[in-house]
Structure 1
Amino acid sequence: MRANGYAGGVEQRTALELRRALRRGETSSRELVARALELVSEHRDSGAFVSADAEIALAEADAVDARLSDTPPEARRALPPLLGLPTAHKDLIDQRGHVTTHGSAAIPHLVAAADDPVAAAVREAGAVSIGKTQVPEFGIAAYSENEIAPPARNPFDPALTAGGSSGGTAAAVALGLIPAAIASDAGGSIRIPAAACGLVGLKPGRGAVPADRRAAESGPGWGVSGPIARTPADAALLFDALRGARDEAALRGVERASELRGLRVGISLASPFEERVEIRFGADALAALDAAAAALDTAGHTVEEARIRYDAGYPEAFTAVWTSALTRIALAPGAEDRLGALASWFLDRARITAPERLEEAAEALRGFAAKARRDWGAYDAVLTPALAFPPPPIGEFRGRGPEGDYRLQCEWAPQTSMVNVAGAPAITVPLGRAPASAGASGLPVGVQLIGPAGGEARLLQLAEQIVQLTR
């Protein structure tokens, strides 16, 4: 299992290249989908996919090919933006005709009768989903291991985690099984695995994606949907498609990224977890930060230290609200015995949290969010490490017991959940691989950029500048 170097097929081409090939008649959706299914079978040991359904996917691909055939070449630019591209969905969302497990042995595994809003948006954009990708139980962890399917392994070292909760999706994209996909992020679930697997991961701001708005009505509104892709251009293509933006403004912006200059970028190592857990940024993280800062300086931006401090009460408040979601899951009698250790521990914590304490925590986080947005707003973007250190080994999190598991997650990704709480957009940007010497891991390295509300297109442009200048 390796992340690149395959011969032919889906795996060597970007989503944009595949779209051009489809519209020019140089390939067919059936060919791309069939190859993606072959790759999934060849890479079962990656843990990327929980399930794939060839019959459903190939039937959808045939329908796409018929539509392409019926459309004159000069009119194909008006077709849905992702038409015919193979993709996949996390096993947390319903996709018509496919089983949803939520990564848990504690609930029934049912075939979905209809798409949830995000799956429906991806289908409307024309992509063909071939199956479901691996997640942690109920999406509550920064790694993708559970009790019902093999763990999602890092394509650069299969002994290590691919991250989570979108670890299966990130592994699938990094391996080239699919060119790109839409994932979800409520505490870092797009950005963590994207960074661990050397990919671009865009977390849109709250309200930026129409399909997310309904879900935001039933919870704190931290969860959003966005792309995991190999390039900023592919991420922009999927973001435009998810928003239903036929003008493809984000993609056009990436194509003109070299024109962007004169922004003020603040660098920060601060984390709201730093007074509760030990945050140590490793050599990889700090080298990536320096390289990204140098690239942004070369691109014509002003890069400076950002003096930001966070409320020390954040960890307790965040944990209270984060774990409360488990109390809304309907569990049949006896089902709790089948919960994984982390979910069981989180549920126990949530149940002993008094309603008034939960409201106090929610109010504290609203104050935290307002202050964070003000602090970040002094800059056009805030630059941080993507992760504090390289991906831990498979089993390392769960081997520490629930409390140690959660602590390690906070130490590894100390600057992601705060962006969800604030509702801001953010992107993780890959900077290649660290040299395997002098304390560096030889694994993918990356950085995170945080932007203001509505700043997704600009973050994609900055990501493109960094990628181009650090090759």
Structure 2
Amino acid sequence: MTAIHALGALELWRLLHARQLSAVEVAEHQLDRIGRLDEANAFVHVDAELALERARAADAAVDRTGLLHGVPFADKHLVARAGQPADGASRAFAGRIAEATDPVAAVLDAAGGVTLGRTAAPELGFAGYTRSALHGTTTLPGFPHLHAGGSSGGAAAAVAQGLVPFAPGSDGGGSIRIPAATCGLVGLKPTRGRIPAQGGVGQVGGLVTAGPIARSVIDAGLLADALIGRVNGRVPHGTVLRSPEHDDGSLLAAAVRGEGRFRVAVLTGGTPWDEVADIRIAPEATDAVARTIAELEAAGHEVGEVALPDATGYAAAFTALWQGGAATVPLEREERHLLEPLARWIVDASDGLGAGGLARAQLWATDFERRVLAAFAPWDAVLTPATALTPRPLEWYPIEDGAADFHAQVLHTPHTSFVNLTGLPAIALPVHRTADGLPMGVQLIGRPGEEATLLSIGRQLERRIPWERRVVDRMRA
């Protein structure tokens, strides 16, 4: 039989549901693998006791219809779970233990998932790479001199190493899509508000939403359904469905079927950051887009172009909203010296923002959102590079200078943050490899609420470009 860690999440679900595997057996296998093989520093905390407790409960359950019944995952470190570390990857909160469990963790528990621990994130989630003074650097599996991306870099590195079959992340400016593309994985940022437990609603700027990182489009659809809070559907007479992909209307069903012909536009007209940064698109990123275009056309999709609306003022507006979120960090001014330079720069800048500055940024963002939605409306999806550059060397980010660090992140990932500002769904797909074997991905941006379309297109590309096989093969090396 295929090794447990090489099985996809849906494959595991089927075997667990059929009692051909036990949840305890799966959890023990994955915990052992974490202990021996986490060379990328994906995990910052492992809770074997909780994992085995939840696995035993799954095995004992009479009702095995949970979307994640017995399937292992790991929480992102920024998500609180009662009794576990809640330091936010920051020395300012070192030693803090969570008193309550966040909704995004609770919804995965309710789906029957088995958490193995916590995956690494940068300090307070402010960076597009994963490093903190408290927990060190998370590197690209197989390439220890390169960053894994961020801020959900620990989640992506865990999936890429076969430590979990998939993992939830959170995305406020690209934090799911960047590490997914960097690590050769699929990453889905849902529409604002689509994930009730963490969907951006009620947050400053509405930027951050939870979403899945997985080896395959199918597994991304499964985890997305669980995050939304879907239950395994039932047919009219009450008979429990044997497999969750038969639940019509689910994202998993769309991912499994991978059907339809769509209109896809390549984004032209530069990036939203061109006003303040000299953005250069690497040949490897251009190659990834070109390969995607060729595969889309070969599959029968219509491919055209769409221009980015005028983004003058974007950098100021997005930065203000980012700083506005930082203003909610529960830290006294005299404690800020404990923050690292990037987080300190962002938090300090929030002091001068004021209600007027934040309101102006939100009004600009609302107008930009309207113009982007109008421009993109004729298209089912819009195609961009996932990152402008190849995975970054460990020394790329000037970590002692917060403003310069932020600028370096913009140069690497200029296409992701405007998707958060506009609230649109987007998926990162690992369509290409460089001559050196480095993953390069593309981003597909969808219409509001149409994650199913993105998963359908992604599944069609996945059939033509077997990226999951690459990840599994590397795990065996």
With the length of structure 2 as denominator, give the TM-score of the two structures. 0.91
Answer whether contact 1:51 1:131 (CA < 8 A) is retained: yes
Aligned to 1:326: 326
Instruction: Letter of the 2:465 partner, please give it.
Output: T
Give the alignment of 1:302-381 within 5 angstroms: 302-332=302-332, 334-381=334-381
How many angstroms does 1:97 deviate by? 2.7
Instruction: Letter of the 1:236 partner, please give it.
Output: G
Instruction: Letter of the 1:240 partner, please give it.
Output: D
Q: 1:357 to 1:334 in 2, by over 3 A?
A: closer
How many angstroms does 1:8 deviate by? 5.8
Out of 206, 231, 238, the position equivalent to 2:223 is 238
Answer whether contact 1:295 1:465 (CA < 8 A) is retained: no
1:268 corresponds to 2:267: yes
Q: Write the distance in 2 (CA, Å) between the matches of 1:298 and 1:44.
A: 39
Out of 126, 135, 141, the position equivalent to 1:140 is 126
Q: Name whichever of 355-364 and 54-63 sits farther off.
A: 355-364
RMSD: 1.7
How many angstroms does 1:209 deviate by? 1.2
Answer whether contact 1:46 1:153 (CA < 8 A) is retained: yes
Q: Write the distance in 2 (CA, Å) between the matches of 1:328 and 1:306.
A: 37
Q: Write the distance in 2 (CA, Å) between the matches of 1:128 and 1:462.
A: 30
Q: 1:411 to 1:400 in 2, by over 3 A?
A: farther
Instruction: Letter of the 2:367 partner, please give it.
Output: G
Q: Write the distance in 2 (CA, Å) between the matches of 1:112 and 1:285.
A: 41
Report the secondary structure of 2:131's partner residue. Answer: coil
Q: Name whichever of 143-152 and 344-353 sits farther off.
A: 344-353
How many angstroms does 1:111 deviate by? 2.5
Aligned to 1:156: 142
Q: Write the distance in 1 (CA, Å) between the matches of 2:396 and 2:35.
A: 27
Answer whether contact 2:255 2:456 (CA < 8 A) is retained: yes
Report the secondary structure of 1:216's partner residue. Answer: coil
Report the secondary structure of 1:447's partner residue. Answer: strand
Give the alignment of 1:286-305 within 5 angstroms: 286-305=286-305
Aligned to 1:177: 163
Q: Write the distance in 2 (CA, Å) between the matches of 1:8 and 1:328.
A: 47
Q: Write the distance in 2 (CA, Å) between the matches of 1:384 and 1:400.
A: 31
Aligned to 1:404: 404
Cα deviations across residues 299-346 of structure 1 (Å, max 9, x unaligned)? Answer: 211101222233221001110110122221121464211100101111
How many angstroms does 1:217 deviate by? 1.5
Q: Write the distance in 2 (CA, Å) between the matches of 1:328 and 1:209.
A: 21
Answer whether contact 2:288 2:432 (CA < 8 A) is retained: no
Aligned to 1:21: 15
Aligned to 1:91: 77
Report the secondary structure of 1:329's partner residue. Answer: coil
Aligned to 1:223: 208
Out of 45, 48, 53, the position equivalent to 1:51 is 45
Q: 1:279 to 1:231 in 2, by over 3 A?
A: same
Aligned to 2:443: 448
With the length of structure 1 as denominator, give the TM-score of the two structures. 0.92
Instruction: Letter of the 2:215 partner, please give it.
Output: R
Q: Write the distance in 2 (CA, Å) between the matches of 1:49 and 1:29.
A: 20
Instruction: Letter of the 2:74 partner, please give it.
Output: A
Runs of 4+ deviating beyond 6 Å:
none
How many angstroms does 1:275 deviate by? 2.0
How many angstroms does 1:127 deviate by? 0.6
Q: Write the distance in 1 (CA, Å) between the matches of 2:99 and 2:29.
A: 27
How many angstroms does 1:185 deviate by? 0.7
Q: Write the distance in 2 (CA, Å) between the matches of 1:111 and 1:27.
A: 34
Answer whether contact 1:29 1:64 (CA < 8 A) is retained: yes
1:167 corresponds to 2:169: no
Q: 1:398 to 1:50 in 2, by over 3 A?
A: farther
Report the secondary structure of 2:80's partner residue. Answer: coil
Q: Write the distance in 2 (CA, Å) between the matches of 1:235 and 1:223.
A: 18
How many angstroms does 1:110 deviate by? 2.6
